[in-house]
Chains A and B, each alone.
Chain A
Amino acid sequence: MGNFSQKVDKFIDIFLNQNGYVKVVQGLQNTLLIAITGLIIGIVIGTLIATVRVIPKYKTLPRVLNHICSFYVALFRGTPIVVQLLIFYYVLLPIFGVKITGVQVSMVVFGLNSGAYISEIMRSGIQSVDQGQMEAGRAVGLSFGTSMMKIVIPQAVKNILPTLGNEFISLIKETSVVSFVGAADLYVAFNFIGSNSYEFMVPYLVMALIYIALVLVITLLVKLLERSLKKSDRRN
């Protein structure tokens, strides 16, 4: 294993002395930024789409909106995230003449993509709430939207929190492809260290460890959040 300790030494040398840690911190920042912004955009879009999809469809407008939403979900679930990134960065941005960085494009694309997935999660959450809750809201004269926002969605979110945590975890891991559009994430940082030392074994192992640590932290946070939202279930 003398060989391995040599590799570790090389890695530490680059990490500490040749600005490796700066790259890693930047990469970590970008990874988290993309994942968190993506999740927030995703939750907003997902909630809107899920709401549209459960509106009673007597009238034309909800029906049309529903078709648009189905199309959106089919589009974003039907193509790989890498393809979506490439199309946004190399096709859509030049066409519309928008100049934004790879990180910003990644935030938007991950938001749109996770919105499609979260909409389905949210829809199942909304449908898991007893129909009577919505009826009780409507019966006192609250509108569909208000009953949804104040009564149904808070209960739905509580039900789907574990699944939502799952979505966030897979989002964090999926961000490892953003280097396709030139965003410097964790992968780029460790790749930099690896190519400077011609030695990839240790950097990639450390990268894996960082991802695992991130996911463990998220798991813990979701658990804490779940516990605080359980308040209304507890008998006191």
Chain B
Amino acid sequence: MIDVINLQKSFGDKEILKGINVTINKGDIVAVLGPSGSGKSTFLRCLNCMEDPTGGSIIFNGVDIADMKVDINVHRRHMGMVFQHFNLYNNKTVLQNVMMAPAYLRCKDIDKAKKKNRMIKFKNLFRGSNKKEELIPITETKDQIKKEVKEQAMALLKRIGLEDKADVYPSTLSGGQKQRVAIIRSMAMNPDVILFDEPTSALDPEMVGEVLELMKDLAKEGMTMVVVTHEMGFAREVASRVLFIDDGQIKEEAAPPAEFFEHPKDPRLQEFLSKIL
């Protein structure tokens, strides 16, 4: 689903990623490990062009999204992202946080289709009766969309047990609750893949469990996930593949992860694991 080919990224003179090649297939749960400063977060942020790559390509569903000419916003809809610091919209309630992007974008799509239809109708006036262009079918009204998105959002909130928090602002939630809302916020877009940027690093230890539990659930449902994490337990149990990034390169890659933890080959990885485990 995602083909990363010779991905490079530098900030000024500083080279962070030095040519990364990896393929992420549908249903993969990829854990990305590495020491701090190794470029693993930058790698993840390059996947949805939060940081524009300076070289190489990222083929997502057949399109090279590293190309600056591509409308990245269209492709980002299919790529959820969960941040270390949650980044819930502070000026919106929990329900609005989950609903906003899908409701807004789908309504906007309808506006665009209507506009296009008007152009087509106008052009059809000058076309022969056998050459009329088809109108884009519009099956839903905006109210229907909003109702549908709201139902989906409430169902997601119910799933994480926070339906009673729907109308409060994020400032009143605990860290674990915020992160779980952030995860369902990205799920509300029905993405093909979700990118997790150290989702549990900013949490109190007792809240890490609830977030990992939700991520495990997602994994069981077959969601494709790329997870930058320091949770070795999660990487070992849940991930289907593990990548070890150091010095801007993939030093070791293993599927299944047991191999990775028990028989590390790369000396840098051996050192890393001995410090952590």
A-side residues, CB < 8 A to B, are 58, 130, 132-133, 135-143, 146, 150-151, 154-155, 158, 231-236
Q: In the bound complex, how far is the Cα of B92 from the Cα of A231, in angstroms?
A: 10
**In the complex, A192 Cα to B77 Cα: how many Å?**
65
Q: Which residues of the partner chain A approach B101 to less than 8 Å between Cβ atoms?
A: 137, 140-142
Asked if residues B76 and A135 are in contact (CB atoms below 8 Å), the reply is no
Closest 10 CB pairs between A and B?
A141-B77, A136-B87, A132-B87, A139-B81, A140-B101, A141-B76, A232-B169, A154-B91, A141-B73, A235-B172
Task: Kindly state the separation between the CA atoms of A202 and B168 in the bound complex, as whole angstroms.
Answer: 55
Q: Enumerate chain A residues within 8 angstroms of B92, measured Cβ to Cβ.
A: 151, 232
Contact, CB under 8 Å: A132 / B85: yes
Q: Measured between C-beta atoms, what is the minimum distance from B43 to chain A in Å?
A: 16
Which B residues are CB-close (under 8 A) to A136?
81, 83, 87-89, 182
B174: min CB distance to chain A, Å: 12
Which of A135, A150, A155, A232 has a CB less than 8 Å from the CB of B83? A135
Knowing A146-B104, A150-B104, A236-B172, say if A137 contacts B77 (CB, 8 Å). no
Tell me, yes or no, whether B171 is within 8 Å of chain A by CB: yes
Nearest-neighbour CB distance to chain A for B177, whole angstroms, equals 13
Inter-chain CA distance A232–B79, complex, in Å, is 28
Q: Of the candidates B75, B87, B105, B186, which one forms a contact with A135 in the assembled complex, judged by CB atoms under 8 Å apart?
A: B87
| A139–B168 CB distance below 8 A | no
14 contacts between A and B (CB under 8 A): A132-B87, A135-B87, A139-B80, A140-B77, A140-B80, A140-B185, A141-B101, A142-B101, A142-B105, A154-B91, A232-B91, A232-B92, A233-B169, A236-B172
Count, A-B residue pairs, CB within 8 A: 78
Tell me whether B91 and A139 are in contact (CB under 8 A): no
How far is the CB of A158 from the nearest CB of chain B, in Å? 7
Q: Is the CB of A138 within 8 A of B50?
A: yes
CA distance A29 to B79 in the complex (A): 55
Contacts of A235 in B (CB 8 A): 171-172
Question: CA separation between A155 and B91, bound complex, in Å?
Answer: 6
Report B's interface with A, CB cutoff 8 A: 48, 50, 52, 73-77, 79-81, 83, 85, 87-92, 100-101, 104-105, 168-169, 171-172, 182, 185-186, 189
Contacts of B169 in A (CB 8 A): 231-234
A143 touches which of B73, B80, B85 (Cβ 8 Å) = B73
- The CA of A157 and the CA of B269, in the complex, are separated in Å by 48
B171: contacting residue among A135, A150, A233, CB under 8 A = A233
Q: Using Cβ atoms and an 8 Å threshold, which residues of chain B touch A139?
A: 48, 50, 76, 79-81, 83, 186
B87 touches A155 (CB 8 A): no
A142 near B50 (CB under 8 angstroms)?
no
Rounded to whole Å, the gap between the CB of B193 and the closest CB of chain A is 12
User: Is the Cβ of B87 less than 8 Å from the Cβ of A138?
Assistant: no
Which residues of A lie under 8 Å from residue B90 when comparing CB positions?
133, 155, 232
Q: Which one of A58, A140, A151 contacts B189 once the chains associate, using CB atoms below 8 Å?
A: A140
Contact A133 B189, beta carbon cutoff 8 Å = no
Extra 20 A-B pairs, beta carbons < 8 Å, given A133-B89, A136-B87, A234-B169: A132-B83, A133-B90, A135-B83, A136-B83, A136-B88, A137-B89, A138-B50, A139-B50, A139-B186, A140-B81, A141-B74, A141-B75, A141-B76, A141-B105, A143-B73, A151-B91, A155-B90, A158-B91, A232-B91, A232-B92
Answer whether A130 and B104 are a contact pair too, CB < 8 Å, given A140-B186, A235-B171, A236-B172: no
Q: How far is the CA of A235 from the CA of B171 in the complex (A)?
A: 7
**When the two chains form their complex, are residues A138 and B76 in contact, meaning their CB atoms are under 8 A apart?**
yes
